[in-house]
Structure 1
């Protein structure tokens, strides 16, 4: 069962948690694996889905930009994993990039939107305060938090306007058990509806 899962959602929607829940569903048919993107933004704490670089490598053939920060993905890596029967799981926070993946890979691509709630300014403020430490002025923390919050609001609206693009929506509640049931349901659907690509059976390029 070879396909690719893209996870898309606003800040603080639990992308890392959902990704890990998919990893915990691994069995002989469903073999998920994280695929990191390259990005030009600074390193953050708990960065698990990106590789921070000064410039996006030339080998990246899927590139997008959000508010001056560039992201890149090597599709050859995705192809190789698919041909080995693996299921790449990629966080893609860009509508055009999701569209490109679906256009390139067709029914092998499963796009999932993650929803918890609309962006909340206080959460961005607390996050910026934790990152900044004691030496940064509160006014600078507030300015940075406001900028990130406003960006998150704009991106959130774009996602909602493009909901029909996604194959599935996961409501990420604070009940981890309920959220895991939604993930397991999607995995069960994939196991029932997708035929496996055995290595060498098909060329996905």
Structure 2
């Protein structure tokens, strides 16, 4: 039915796009920390955003990692940040200076830090999809990686393959909380659904970086349209 994974991916993208809500966007080849995800659906649940400078910093994992260790009310010392992050002293000091410069972090007193009261995390929810023609084991491995930043994670196969997997491998998907979708040229069917994974945004560096990457990508697309 499909000559390549790319063809499968493109057709499934079009199906998702047709069914997308006004607050949802469909992105191909999203650059997550563990490699490109074939397709992500991004749901915007509020109006918060990041400045370009804030998004540029947080899109790098090391900045997101430091922010994930901070709090708006509980003060963190630089010693705590160094010991917990695993970065050396000079790296942590440099990152903190940059975060302070774009109003994400406040230094209160000597080497004591809080997330700025004026800074709010955008709440974006990711649903990830990995498209494969046959290799279900690789698909599950990639989908498990995607759960580091995704509330929902699915694998996508041609419909005939998906039906066989439901019959023979259903327990693997259920055990890993990975969804299974079958695709034809006309439509797609969700054969195995998933339970939403609740991700604590402020403590999840991978999710923070993913949100920043999406905002940068989305802004670039808007500028091209203009």
Please state which band the TM-score falls in when normalised by the shorter chain: under 0.3
Higher relative contact order by CA 8 Å / sep ≥ 6: 1 or 2?
1
Q: For the pair shown, which has the larger CA radius of gyration, 1 or 2?
A: 2
Q: When the two structures are superposed, what TM-score results if normalisation uses the length of structure 2?
A: 0.24
